[in-house]
Structure formats: structure tokens, C-alpha cells
Chain A
Amino acid sequence: MLKGVSAVFKRELAAYFATPLATVFLVIFLFAMGAFTFYMGGFYTNGQANLAVFFSFHPWLYLFLIPAISMRLWAEERKSGTIELLLTLPIPLAASVIGKFLAAWVFAGIALVLTFPIWITVNYLGSPDNGVILASYIGSWLMAGGYLAIGSAVSAGTSNQVIAFVVSVVISFLFTIAGAPLVIDGLSAVLPLELLGTISSFSFLTHFNAIMAGVIDLRDLVFFGTLIAFFLFVTAVLVDLRKAG
């Protein structure tokens, strides 16, 4: 199992850097992060030595950028036929699913780590609470994992990367805003209160905002952990279903 995870992980991670995908993604990711933080977020003018503005844009950037990573995970294998190779090598299916996910997650982590100049900037300009910043980084990475797991499951259901991208964005959007007033107010007319609570508890924003406050609560960890495990399970089921033709 571990041998399979590690082999698939290494192959996948290397694949990101073997193509222009890694460079293009990283450049756009960092450029977008900078643009949102400095221009739209008014990082300099709001006069606060923290990275709240920077992190507050993460869910919205992930919404479009993470499906761009995850769309290829399984759809590309199916399109190019390599899935037949992957599934006939002695690798447990779970190992392939986890290996691919981990590679994508580490890649997202690399993109996140490369935003470090903004952390240096804020420390140069003032004295921010670096504990809060660290918690926010960890929370952001967990959230990226959630989006990736959703994207992995969607990618397993199609051989078309464009479909995988669009459907992932839509599902990710629903998970992002599940707790927003827009959704809750609209649903409050038709759904009982307890159900509304359940729906809003699936919101990425709610959980990420909680972490951004500087406390990594066990509940938030459990939420993202369970969500990732659930969607990876769905991924495996979808890949296995295709075997039945």
C-alpha cells in the first residue's frame, strides 16, 4: 500500500513539473494573490499589520485555481488510456487515489509557501501576530485539500477535463458559500432551522474564518479531514464503477 502511494505520489508530483503546468499555475497563483491583496484588498492603505486581507481572498481564488489542478487527476488518465496501465499494475486502487491526491495537495502547498514574500513584507512593516498567520496558512492548506478532494471525485467521473473543471467549480462554489446569508436566507423560508444549521456547517468559509481568527479548533480539522476522506472515497468508488463498464 505505502509502496504504491509513494510511487504514484512521486510520479504525479514530477508530472506537474515536467510540463509547463507548474510554472503557469504558480505564476498565475502568485500574481493573483498579490493583485487581490494589494489592489482590491488595500493591503497598504488599511493600516493593519496582519494578513487577514490576503487570506480572505484564498477561498475565492481556490474556487477557480484548484479545479485547474484537480481536473486532470483522473480525466487525463482516462483520455490518454494510461488508466489501463495504472489499474493493471499491482497498486491498490486506494493507493492510486491517495497518491494522486497527495501530489496535488503538496503542489498546492508549494504554491502557498511561495507566497512567503508577503509574510516578510508584513513583518517588515509592522509586528503582526505570526501565530495567527501560521494558523491561517495551515487552514488555507486544509481548505485547498478540501477543494482538491472534490475535484478529484469529479475528475474520476469523466474523461473530459473541461467538464471536470466546470463541475468542480460549481460544487466547490456550493461548499464555499453554504453558510453565506445569500444561501441561508433563501433557504430559511423552506427548510427547518436544524437543517439550515447542518447546511451552513458544510461551509468552507465558516470553517476557514474560524481558523483565520488564529485558533485551529479540532472541529475545523475534523471537518476538512472528513470531507477529504469522503471525497477520496467517492473517487475510488467512481474509478471502480468504470471497471464494471
Chain B
Amino acid sequence: MAMIEIDGLAKSFGPVAAVRGVSLSVDKGEVLGFLGPNGAGKSTTMKMLTGFLSPSAGRASICGHDVQTDPLPAQSVLGYLPEGAPAYGDMTPRGFLSFCARVRGLKGEAAKSAIARVVARTELARVLDQPIETLSKGFKRRVGLAQAILHDPPVLVMDEPTDGLDPNQKHVVRELIREMSPQKAIIVSTHILEEVAAICTRALIIDRGRVVADGPIADGRIAFRTSPETGAPGELIADARDLDDVFRALTARPAAAA
């Protein structure tokens, strides 16, 4: 069984269907680039996968634990960076990470070494004792990232982890994801398509609440299987550098239809 299983997940907010039957699975060693236009349902899908929202239909499981019926074991093996990397602004990164460690059941030396490890990896040492609300966007994002990987989870879900980072910081985060990827199942949502080619082993495009393309990335080439409604041929092999064009071809629609 794959470490992340999503089966027919759907979510409606009143009359608005945000996600309309998304199924996917991610195995150990895979880094799935989760792509799609704004409002396509990326974040909503992630919120359902992580147990923040209850789905209207379908189910999701993490390492075999159903997120709906068995949330705590599922969330214990999950690291999640929500959209916008929320963190308690009045706390310092040190206090915040200690809180997360306590929640994760890490105590004493184990907590200390886990915090030291993620602080080093996300380069937070300089701001460890400043209130989070006074930090720059890049540091805030890295605090969120540190929180997500604190317990070295087998499953990582990150909603736009590099948003708001400068090119150097982006590089650091990508390296971090690449290093961790062999041992974990990772989902990363992003709007930066060159990032997908750089770190992901697979790309998935979601549009208007449905998966429209899904395929592995190898040697700089993506072999997409596309859904019929996109109008594209079922198989679509593209150079990863042309992902931008593919993305637009699959998800852009005439102004009148949109």
C-alpha cells in the first residue's frame, strides 16, 4: 500500500464544488509536484489529506491510517506545512518548536537534538529567540518548514514551501527536499514550474477540482497521462523545461468559458 492514498476525494463549500473526485497515491521515495491554477483545489485537497477539513466524499489515508476515522495515528506520521506557513506570532521559533516537540511526544534530549537538527537544516539559529511575528517572510516560512520536519515524518505535505523565499533560500529548501526524498513520501504544491523539474519525481496537474494530468518525471522528461476532458491526447510526453506550456495548454481556457 502506498504511503499516501487519496480515493475519490471531493469537497463542496455550499453550492461551490472545490474538489470533485481526486484520486492519487504517493509511494516512499516519490516527490509529487502538485500543480494547478489558483482555485483549482490544491490547498483544499491538502487540507482534507491532513485532516483539517472533512471531505464531502471519498477518503484519504496516510501510512494506512484513515485520516477521517483514525486521525491521530495518521497525523503522527505526517509533517504538514499549511498554506502561508502559519505559526504562533507571539512565540519565538525556539518556543514554537519546543511546543511542537512536546505535542509529538519528543522529550528531553530527543527534543533538544530534534530541534537542533531542524534549526541547522533550515538555518534558523540567528532568529531562534525573536518573536515569530517580527521575522521576515522567508524566516517565517522556514519556521513552518522546521515544524513540519521536526519529527522526521515518513510523509511530508507542503503547500508552497518556497513561496516568499529569495533565490538562495529556495535553493536551500529544494536541496533539503531532495535530501529527504529517498526515505519519504512527499507532496509539494507550487506555482514555480522549474522547481518541479528540479526536485519532483512526478507531476500532477489539477484543474477545477479534477486531476487533468499525472505522470513521472525522468531524465528531464515528463510522460503525462491526461484526462479526456482536457482535449489533449491521452499520452503527452514533454520536456520538463516546457512544463510551462503544457500547464497552460491543459488548464487555460478561453476568457468566455472561464
Contact = CB atoms under 8 A, between A and B. Distances in A.
Contacts of A130: none
Contact of B86 (A6, A14, A80): A80
A218 interface: no
A88 B80 contact: yes
Contact of A11 (B47, B75, B99): B99
B82 interface: yes
A90 B86 contact: no
A90 B90 contact: no
Interface residues of A, number: 24
Interface residues of B, number: 34
A18 B103 contact: no
A7, A81, A244, A245 — most chain B CB neighbours (10 Å): A245
A245 B19 CA distance: 13
Interface in A66-97: 80-82, 84-85, 87-92
A84 B144 CA distance: 12
Interface in A160-211: none
A89 B99 CA distance: 11
Interface stretch (B51-59, B236-244, B249-257): B51-59
Q: Sorted from nearest, which 7 A-B pairs have the closest CB atoms?
A: A81-B86, A90-B75, A7-B102, A90-B76, A84-B82, A18-B90, A88-B50
A3 B100 CA distance: 12
Interface of A: 3-4, 6-7, 10-11, 14-15, 18-19, 80-82, 84-85, 87-92, 243-245
A4 B102 CA distance: 8
A82 B133 CA distance: 13
Contact of B54 (A6, A85, A89, A245): A245
Contacts of B73: 90
A91 to B, nearest CB: 6
Given A4-B103, A85-B147, A243-B53, A19 B82 contact: no
